[in-house]
Amino acid sequence: MRVPLEWLKELVDFSISTDDLILKLTMVGLEVEGVERMEDDTVLEVNVTPNRPDCLSILGIAREVSALLNIPLKFPECEIREEGGPSLVDVEIADEDLCHRYAGRDIRGVTIGDSPEWLKKRIAKCGMRPINNVVDITNYVLLEMGHPLHAFDMDTLRGSRIRVARSRGGTITTLDGTERALPENSLLIWDGERPVAVAGVMGGAETEVKEATKSIFLESAYFLPSSIRRTSKALGLKTESAYRFERGTDIELLEKALDRAASLMAVHAGGKLSKKVDVYPRPFQPSRIKVRYERVNRILGASIPDDEMTDIVQRLGMKAEKGPKEFVATPPSFRGDIQKEIDLIEEIARFHGFDRIPVTVPKIPISKEAKDTRYHLMARVKESFRSAGFTEAINYSFMNPRMLDTLNIEENDSRRRTLILRNPINEEESCLRTTLAPSLIQNLLYNVSRGSRDVRLFEVSRIFIDEGALLPEEKHHLGAIYFREKTPSLWKEEAPDFYIVKGAVQSLLDDLRSGDYLFQPSSEPFLHPGKSGDIIVSGKKIGFLGTLHPYIIEKLSLKVSQQDILVVEMNLDALLASVSGGVKYTPIPRYPFIDRDIALVVDESLPATGVMEHLRAYPTELIEDISLFDFYKGKNIPEGKKSLAFTIRYRAEDRTLTDSEIEELHGKLTAYITAKTGGMVRGT
């Protein structure tokens, strides 16, 4: 709401400085968002919250200033000379549930022309474009008193009648020249034959006031806010008029607004005023609201005296009947927002001053709730990936559905069960993510195209799967992408990229003490079939890691070197469910261990975990640990074979093992594993 101070001063004659006024308005809830200083005036941009339609006018702001400074309000004056006899227009309200009052009068013999300069200047300062004297005056009164008016060219109203009734479909061409389909049940103004205006939203073009107009019918009515809002939304038509009607207008004031506009028209457009028509089937019923003094102070934590409370309420234009424990307030017709005790408590707080309410600390018992372990686990997941060299990304929860095609995701894959936005920002962000991989791939493309050759990112966010219920399944996922061009390193050769990423995953699983895990060849359609693995925790697949399929890289026209791009995604809810709670101490072994190595030459295709599983399955209680310490292919090893070397740690719980005992056991284990794997012991 733009408020020119020169206009405001006409209604309330304050003498404080502009800066002081700005601060006072802001601190009473009318935030001044901007100040425009002009040559001869200053215009304040006041942010009026949706609960205060009464402040959408100079009069409304003046009322607050008057209450705030305790100085009188000067109501806009007007002089009415009804020389034209009774109105020639009959008014009927057919749907009084949507229109509680309809008043109007006709002005015959007007001359359409320019408005006086002062008036043009005022409405222009408020951001409205001058059109002609009649339209400008309706706008002027709208700005001044906050009540929207509408002027019809009376000679175009067929049958000299106005009927307020619901739409029955059909179309209307509105003032802006657009033909619009009329939404079912929207409230319309009809003449004897057809709709001539969308009530409270916009007038029709056929009855518009034009240069040749000789007589006008001026409307001032009260329409049900929710009805106006529905219609305005359905038509996609936001007007100054609808903006005020949908927030609630003053049903009592509308008559004064009508008089104010009519008297201005008589002066500036000429013509004779008829008597008023006023159909008022649902008169304003003032409510009586009890306010308990003690309750006010209890809610606010303050000790405001009873008299101050009633004084504030009275300054705001309400009646206040004082009792010993409570007072009864009667809000005026322009304060539709005040309906309950709490609404008055707010008014008292506002005018008492939020800054004068004490500052205390709540007395509340300490929480008996268990700490949110999930939050802490999530934080550990993030920390684990961060320390493994990944930087955290946060992407929008949206996805381009076409990315699923790019990634070859099959039709029956759960990642295809997307939620689609009705009103997306654009096609690329039109559904909710069912997987984090597409966003991270986009992040990679973005960074590579800007010259980065080291893109290691992870994200922890929710994904959304439509399982047919009202609300989707929301699951927490961890996603990561890894791309790093090898640069000469000072110290030692690093592991191949796949194992670096796998190491990050293993480190996370170990750190969380997740259930038993293993990696199995993956069949994710966008991963390299020979360089990818599903992550299996406690027997269930919770995610995957692997190298992006060369075919996908081609499709994404990603111009990078030979380097692999690795993608990881894990369902954290499934992972965290496998995390065991406590740790139980096991006694430190009392007897020494003995380590023995086995180096095996086996087929290259035999996975290391397979050999490991066979070793673990060997029936003895004396093996404490098995670890793989060497992997070798090449010189001295036959083509198609590889060498794997394990350290076996032997220990007994109850005695020191003897050398001969170990020799025998290790010999048997060696024979067993060569037989199981079809391999042979290296170097023998």
Partner 1 sequence: MADINDIKTAFLQELASAGTAADLQQLKVKYLGKKGILTAKLKLLPTIPAEERPVYGKLMNELKMFIEGEIEGKESEIRDAERRSKIASEAIDITLPGKYTKPGKMHPISTVLKEIIDIFVSMGFDTEVGPEVELDYYNFEALNIPKDHPARDMQDTFYISDDVILRTHTSPVQVRTMERKKPPLRFIAPGKVYRCDADVSHTPMFHQVEGVVVDADISFSDLKGVLEIFVHLMFSKDTPVRFRPSFFPFTEPSAEVDIGCILCGGAGCRVCKGTGWLEVLGAGMVNPRVFEMVGYDPERYTGFAFGMGVERITMLKYSIDDIRMYYENDIRFLRQF
Q: Does 360 bind partner 1 (CB under 8 A)?
A: yes
In whole angstroms, how close is the CB of 50 to partner 1 at the nearest point?
Answer: 4
Nearer to partner 1, 450 or 559 (CB): 450
Nearer to partner 1, 27 or 599 (CB): 27
What element of type H or E holds 245?
helix 240-245
Instruction: Say how far apart CA 232 and CA 236 lie, in whole Å.
Output: 6
Binding positions for partner 1, 286-345, rule CB under 8 A: 298-302, 340, 342-343, 345
User: Amino acid identity of 427?
Assistant: E
Stretch that binds partner 1, among 118-126, 204-212, 465-473, 637-645 (CB under 8 A): 465-473
Residues pairing with 541 in the sheet: 536
Site string for partner 1, 106-125 (x = CB under 8 A): --------------------
Options 411, 468, 487, 490; binder of partner 1; rule CB under 8 A: 490
Instruction: Say how far apart CA 601 and CA 670 lie, in whole Å.
Output: 12
Binding positions for partner 1, 37-56, rule CB under 8 A: 49-52
Q: Does 17 bind partner 1 (CB under 8 A)?
A: no
Nearer to partner 1, 306 or 346 (CB): 346
Site string for partner 1, 422-461 (x = CB under 8 A): xxxx---x--x----------x--xx--x-x-xxxxx--x
3-state secondary structure 95-137: CCCCEEEEEEEEEECCCCCCCCHHHHHHHHHCCCCCCCHHHHH
Options 364, 583, 588, 617; binder of partner 1; rule CB under 8 A: 364
In whole angstroms, how close is the CB of 323 to partner 1 at the nearest point?
Answer: 19
Binding positions for partner 1, 243-262, rule CB under 8 A: 246-247
Q: Does 474 bind partner 1 (CB under 8 A)?
A: yes
Stretch that binds partner 1, among 112-120, 127-135, 462-470, 669-677 (CB under 8 A): 462-470
Residue corresponding to tokens 């496998």: 578
Residue 198 and residue 233 in contact, taking contact as beta carbons nearer than 8 Å: no
- Which DSSP state fits 640? T
Options 487, 491, 585, 638; binder of partner 1; rule CB under 8 A: 491
608 contact partners, CB below 8 Å, separation of at least 6: 628, 631, 644
Nearer to partner 1, 104 or 225 (CB): 225
Binding positions for partner 1, 202-241, rule CB under 8 A: 225-226, 229-230
In whole angstroms, how close is the CB of 424 to partner 1 at the nearest point?
Answer: 8
Closest by alpha carbon to 343, among 307, 297, 291, 298? 291
Q: Does 357 bind partner 1 (CB under 8 A)?
A: yes
In whole angstroms, how close is the CB of 120 to partner 1 at the nearest point?
Answer: 30
What b/e sequence results for 147-185 when a residue is b if at least 16 CB atoms lie within 10 Å of its CB, and e otherwise?
bbbbbbbbebbeeeebbbbbbeeeebebbeeeebebeee
Longest Cα pair distance anywhere in the chain, in angstroms? 130
Token pair in block for residue 29: 């809830």
Options 362, 581, 640, 683; binder of partner 1; rule CB under 8 A: 362
| Torsion region of 96: left, alpha or beta (phi above 0 gives left; psi -120 to 50 gives alpha) | alpha
Nearer to partner 1, 356 or 655 (CB): 356
Nearer to partner 1, 43 or 622 (CB): 43
Binding positions for partner 1, 141-170, rule CB under 8 A: none
In whole angstroms, how close is the CB of 527 to partner 1 at the nearest point?
Answer: 22
Binding positions for partner 1, 366-385, rule CB under 8 A: 366-367, 369, 372, 375, 379, 382, 385
What element of type H or E holds 579?
none
In whole angstroms, how close is the CB of 191 to partner 1 at the nearest point?
Answer: 28
Binding positions for partner 1, 388-427, rule CB under 8 A: 388-398, 419-425
Residue corresponding to tokens 């409270």: 200
Distance of CA 541 to the CA centre of its chain: 33
Please tell me the count of residues contacting partner 1 according to CB under 8 A.
89
Q: In what order do the strands lie in the sheet with 319-322?
A: 289-292, 326-330, 319-322
Nearer to partner 1, 270 or 389 (CB): 389
Token pair in block for residue 415: 């990642």
- Cα–Cα separations (whole angstroms), residue 109 to 83, 84, 86, 133, 213: 12, 10, 15, 14, 9
Neighbours of 20 (CB within 10 A): 12
In whole angstroms, how close is the CB of 29 to partner 1 at the nearest point?
Answer: 3
Nearer to partner 1, 94 or 421 (CB): 421
Q: Does 130 bind partner 1 (CB under 8 A)?
A: no
Options 387, 414, 580, 656; binder of partner 1; rule CB under 8 A: 387
Stretch that binds partner 1, among 8-16, 20-28, 275-283, 546-554 (CB under 8 A): 20-28
- 263-267's contacts with Cβ under 8 Å and 24+ in sequence apart are 263/78, 263/79, 263/80, 264/78, 264/119, 264/137, 264/140, 264/141, 265/107, 265/110, 265/133, 265/134, 265/137, 265/216, 265/218, 266/81, 266/107
557 three-class SS:
coil
Binding positions for partner 1, 492-521, rule CB under 8 A: 492
Closest by alpha carbon to 445, among 547, 546, 555? 555
- Which DSSP state fits 233? H
Nearer to partner 1, 7 or 334 (CB): 334
For 569, phi then psi, to 5°, come to: -150, 135
Site string for partner 1, 334-353 (x = CB under 8 A): ------x-xx-xx--xx---
In whole angstroms, how close is the CB of 327 to partner 1 at the nearest point?
Answer: 18
Stretch that binds partner 1, among 8-16, 144-152, 355-363, 579-587 (CB under 8 A): 355-363
In whole angstroms, how close is the CB of 365 to partner 1 at the nearest point?
Answer: 6
In whole angstroms, how close is the CB of 678 to partner 1 at the nearest point?
Answer: 38
Binding positions for partner 1, 523-552, rule CB under 8 A: none
